[in-house]
Amino acid sequence: MLTALSDGKLKTWFYPNAVYVDRDLMNKAMAVKDANDVGKMGQITLFNGNLVNVRRLDGSLATLAISPYPKMLYEHVERADFEKAIRMCRFVKD
């Protein structure tokens, strides 16, 4: 996964390698979340699981969350537990 702060938004690509297959697919596997509370010039200090820590310009830290489902899907695929992965995808419907 890849995440970036851009124009007051937190953009997260769940499968950035999709750009090599189909650019439209890459945009469908992306989440955009409003991050105006971070302010300008925020820097990502940590991206772990579904949490993103951002250091604001004044030095304080902000924690932003993304959907936990992509990480869970990756974990099911790593264990080759495709039945649970499919059930989760059907539950989430995204």
- pLDDT tens digit sequence for 24-75: 888 888 899 998 888 888 899 999 988 999 999 888 999 999 988 888 998 9
Report the alpha-carbon distance of residue 81 to residue 57 in Å, rounded: 43
Report the alpha-carbon distance of residue 47 to residue 16 in Å, rounded: 15
Of residues 56, 53, 50, the one with CA closest to residue 31: 50
Question: Which residue type is seen at 24?
Answer: D
On whether the CB atoms of residues 60 and 48 are closer than 8 A, the answer is no
pTM of the model: 0.79
Of residues 57, 6, 60, the one with CA closest to residue 33: 6
